[in-house]
Amino acid sequence: RKEVEQDPGPFNVPEGATVAFNCTYSNSASQSFFWYRQDCRKEPKLLMSVYSSGNEDGRFTAQLNRASQYISLLIRDSKLSDSATYLCVVNRDNFNKFYFGSGTKLNVKP
Amino acid sequence: DTAVSQTPKYLVTQMGNDKSIKCEQNLGHDTMYWYKQDSKKFLKIMFSYNNKELIINETVPNRFSPKSPDKAHLNLHINSLELGDSAVYFCASSPTSGPNTGELFFGEGSRLTVL
């Protein structure tokens, strides 16, 4: 079983829509959680960390459910520039081992 | 200033050849990584070094040999290249203390094509 699983999508949504991605992780010892964004043919970049109490950064909201071992990302008022692949990342044991999901592709259309 | 830089960005070579990819970070981070992203876009960790010491080796064939001459550099040498080695190889670094603890900073990637 993969460490981190995501729906690959693609999610095709109109501008202004609200879209949510989920991600599940297999190891209950996982300690830190992140969402990264990867544009086509570019490197992944940190979008936001995910805290136990949930956190928000502008139009983006991340939630963590440790009991069910899943992480979610909500994007409100989608922009064309949000089109990218969103990678769920989990860090286990220490800060040296990051596990990536295969990514969820988002296409925001005019 | 590029924080994590890797060279070359593109590499096309024949099966059986040996090639190297270099990576340097100017962020002062203690930990550096090599990740492989295959055609299905799955990012998989290969190696991790902390202060020049190998701490993660994720069942990578021994044709792949990382080398860290100092904590700012992590190079990857690949012997006897195979078709399945074609992928994008990302170098990354992360701090182990401070406000960005736990964040990975990636280089732009090195796209390797084996013919």
pLDDT tens profile B4-52:
999 999 999 999 999 999 999 999 998 999 999 988 888 999 999 988 8
Residue A81, φ and ψ in degrees, nearest 5: -70, -5
* Distance between B40 CA and the closest CA of chain A, angstroms: 8
Residue B98 contacts by C-beta under 8 Å, 6 or more apart in sequence? none
For an interface test with A, give the residue of B4, B43, B47, B111 to mutate (most A CBs within 10 A): B43
Side-chain half-sphere of B25: how many Cα atoms within 13 Å?
28
Interface residues of A toward B, Cβ cutoff 8 Å, are 32, 34, 36, 38, 42-46, 49, 85, 87, 89, 91, 95-100, 102-103
The rounded distance, in Å, linking the Cα atoms of B57 and B26 is 24
**Whether B103 and A99 lie within 8 Å, measured CB to CB:** no
**Whether B104 and A98 lie within 8 Å, measured CB to CB:** yes
Q: Is the pLDDT of residue B87 over 90?
A: yes
> Residue A93: which pLDDT band, with cuts at 50, 70 and 90?
low
Under 8 Å between Cβ of A82 and A75: yes
CB atoms within 10 A of CB B25: 23
**Whether A102 and B42 lie within 8 Å, measured CB to CB:** yes
The mean pLDDT value for A53-75 works out to: 95
Q: What tens digit of pLDDT does each residue of B47-80 get?
A: 999 888 888 888 789 999 999 999 999 999 999 9
Task: Tell the burial category of A14 from Cβ atoms under 10 Å away from its Cβ (0-12, 13-18, 19+).
Answer: exposed
